[in-house]
Amino acid sequence: MGKETILVVDDEEDLLELVRFHLSREGYAVMLAETGEEAWRKVRGNIVDLMVIDLMLPGIDGLELTRRIKSDDRLRAIPVIMLSAKGEEVDIVTGLELGADDYITKPFSPRVLLARIRAVFRRKIESRTGQEDMIHIHGLSIDSGRRTVLVEGTPVDLTYTEFQVLTFLAGRPGWVFTRSQIVDAVRGDDYPVTDRSVDVQIVGLRKKLGDSGFLIETVRGVGYRFKDRS
């Protein structure tokens, strides 16, 4: 069973207690917060391994809280799972663009939440042990341990998801991947993300990579690949 600390943020007291019960039973240490302000104080003052954040919070809402976390060098590596009654594509894409690792719509099953939490922790471990620490290709230097990217020596600031997509593609130059394969590799199997959200990540990556953006090639009717070493 896990020993990680999870901070759950929601303004519904009954939901907080329900989630606390199931997470505690699985062996996780659980912290609770009912507002974005309270969560912000707690995440800055404690060691937190993962956060579950409701979007509709009083004061600082879930999107702003996530934005703050992912903009803080000390906190940005903390995985975030968003909870929301808003399940439209635009809401999911917005959450993922901010760097969230998963997005679960309400009402939800505690078993599903637990499975998603385990998947996030599993991917975190796999990313540390299953990837090359360094990738050097076509003027790009990708350090998966430090989660940094340099283009011709110049740092590039990527979101968590953009970094995952770039590392996945650049680690297998010349291979063609469908959008669903990219989603599965970055998020895990059966993740409810549309093809459009993958396209959004690619557009953002190309823009941030500047003159090196051409390295991510579109394979019409299939998906994407990173330019071969040749």
Q: What secondary structure, in 3-state letters, does 39-67 show? A: HHHHHHHCCCCEEEEECCCCCCCHHHHHH
Average of per-residue pLDDT across 19-37: 95
Asked if 95 and 154 count as a contact pair (C-beta separation under 8 A), the reply is: no
CA–CA separation, 12 and 35 (whole Å): 10
Per-residue pLDDT band at 188 (split at 50, 70, 90) = low
CA–CA separation, 227 and 214 (whole Å): 8
pLDDT of 196 above 90: no
pLDDT of 95 above 90: no
CA–CA separation, 185 and 169 (whole Å): 10
Per-residue pLDDT band at 126 (split at 50, 70, 90) = low
From 50-64, 100-114, 154-168, 187-201, the region with the lowest mean pLDDT: 187-201
DSSP state of 203: H
- Given this chain, do its domains 5-128 and 131-226 carry the same CATH topology? no
Average of per-residue pLDDT across 192-197: 63
pTM equals 0.60
pLDDT of 11 above 70: yes
Residue 177: left (phi > 0), alpha (psi -120 to 50), or beta?
A: beta
What is 131-226's CATH topology? Arc Repressor Mutant, subunit A (1.10.10)
pLDDT of 2 above 60: no
Give the model's pLDDT for residue 127.
Answer: 56
CATH class name, domain 5-128: alpha beta
**3-state SS, residue 125:** helix
What does the domain layout of the chain look like in residue ranges? Answer: 5-128, 131-226
How many CB atoms are closer than 10 A to CB 140?
18
From 39-48, 100-109, 123-132, 205-214, the region with the lowest mean pLDDT: 123-132
